[in-house]
Structure 1
Amino acid sequence: MTTKETFFLHGENLLKKIKELIAEGNIRKITISEKDGKELMSFPLTFGVVGVIVAPILAAVGAVAALIGECSITVEREETPKDDKKPDAHTL
């Protein structure tokens, strides 16, 4: 199951926020939009993304951040299934 979350920020904080989100590790997709809703860029992230693959994405985000003022980031997160079962009394 995926959930979406949107952050509103200024361009100068964009790269920092993207790095924080990537470090979380449960992100499936990031979309960056202008304040009027026009999509600027969108990129999927998969489990096990390494620095070599992320570096070009961060370079592109840095270039976009230098050109825009206010923007929004929409993040699709992969939720881990929660086990709602209570442990049996004899397994404690």
Structure 2
Amino acid sequence: MNEAKPEAARAAVDSVVDAVRGLFHEGINRRVVVRDSDDDVVLDVPLAVGMVAALAAPVATTIGAGVALVGKCGIKVENRKPQASPPARVVDAE
């Protein structure tokens, strides 16, 4: 009877670990880009790094975002992974 609980707990832990890995992978592929009013890039970092910085120093992150918005900078999250093109269709001409 005690053997079922560790298996269920292990499955739950594996599920959480897989979810965190997926989020980290998405965070690496997405980037936070801050541009000034002349459309020049001021800051370009992976989203995962931005999230770690936001968790480590929330006050500094809030002040930086406020300064960027007051200074008429645009903050955008961009997906750097190229979109997969749809597969080509093969048509038989008979």
Please indicate the TM-score interval, normalised by the length of the shorter structure: 0.3 to 0.5
In proportion to residue count, which structure has more strand? 1
TM-score normalised to structure 2 length: 0.37
Point out the structure with max Rg over C-alpha: 2
TM-score normalised to structure 1 length: 0.38
In proportion to residue count, which structure has more helix? 2
Q: Bigger relative contact order, structure 1 or 2, given CA contacts below 8 A and separation 6+?
A: 1
